[in-house]
Amino acid sequence: MTRTAAARGSTAAILAITGLAPLVWGTTYAVTSEFLPPERPIFTALMRALPAGLVLLGATRVLPRGRWIGRAALLGVLNIGAFFPLLFLAAYRLPGGVAAVLGSAAPLFALGFAAVLLRMRPSGRKLLAGAIGMLGVALVVLRANAALDTIGVLAGLAGAASMAAGTVLTGHWGRPEGVGPLAFTSWQLTAGGVVLLPLALIAEGAPPALDASAIGGYLYLGVLGTAAAYALWFRGLARVPATSVAFLGLLSPLSAAVIGWLALGQSLTPLQVLGMAIALGGTVLGQVGDRAQPPSEHSEPLSPSVTDAPELAAPRQLSTIEE
């Protein structure tokens, strides 16, 4: 096997593993509607982020220092603290299909941020892939009677832009030397959760009473839908260009549509199936020509004893989950 073939195989494997994250995120809609208390979007966002972040922080026991204090805070706001409430605001003020289509603009935002911040000129193929992906998602989730709300539209676009900016900066900065993906994730989840805590108290008041199904739903979202999924997402960002990883986000609304069909008895028309094929085509087109890249290390070592692998087995260190 040639080096080129091996590199392509490595990239494909990394993308396949990273793509599990948006597939899991697609389950959020069903879990939220079936198990969680209604009308509490910010509280739900808080419960997804802060408990998982604190558990990982306590397990890995590595704290950011130096310039990474500010970087971790900014990434936590972009990827979690701002993105989550904007996402839920759009979902509450818009039909789900409209909100999903606005969210699918994230790859195009990522291309724009990469061009402005990193001076990476987007190729025509990438722009075409972004447009194809949005078209496919629109066919899957958009309905003819969808109503528009100005605040909801702005929130949806701002949420997509926030996630795109966080994705690009995460890929550009990488991780500090010696810090693994679990520690990196814990920084961002904790920072985002700290931002969400006062927002939830001010906007929604005291936490609601939780029954067993709600507790189970929050545990699922916190452990699998947030901690594990973001760990995979940031791990991929350390190895594949961010403008390629961003296209994997198109898998989330497709996953939600399939789960709605399988688990909730929702319809799935031939037009929606065609839209899935088109969106998948845009996702694949967005990866063509990209190669795996070595993990990016842009910061000073935290400690000579901090390793990248057995984070949960090293109780004396804190590690992050996002990359």
Averaged pLDDT of the chain: 82
Answer whether 166's CB lies under 8 Å from 242's CB. no
Among 253-257, 265-269, 307-311, where is mean pLDDT lowest? 307-311
Question: How many other C-beta atoms can be found within 10 angstroms of the C-beta atom of residue 284?
Answer: 14
- pLDDT, tens only, 192-249: 999 999 999 999 999 999 999 999 999 999 999 999 999 999 999 888 888 888 999 9
Label residues 186-210 b or e (16+ Cβ within 10 Å = b): bbbbbbbbbbbbebbeeebeeeeee
Query: Alpha-carbon distance 260 to 29, whole Å?
Result: 9
- pLDDT, tens only, 104-137: 889 999 999 999 888 888 888 889 999 998 888 8
* Phi-psi sector, 120: left (phi>0), alpha (psi -120 to 50), beta: beta
- pLDDT, tens only, 27-85: 887 888 888 888 888 998 999 999 999 999 999 999 999 999 999 999 999 999 999 88
- pLDDT, tens only, 161-182: 999 999 999 989 988 988 999 9
- Which residues, listed in sequence order, are joined to residue 320 by a DSSP beta bridge? 183
Query: Alpha-carbon distance 285 to 182, whole Å?
Result: 30
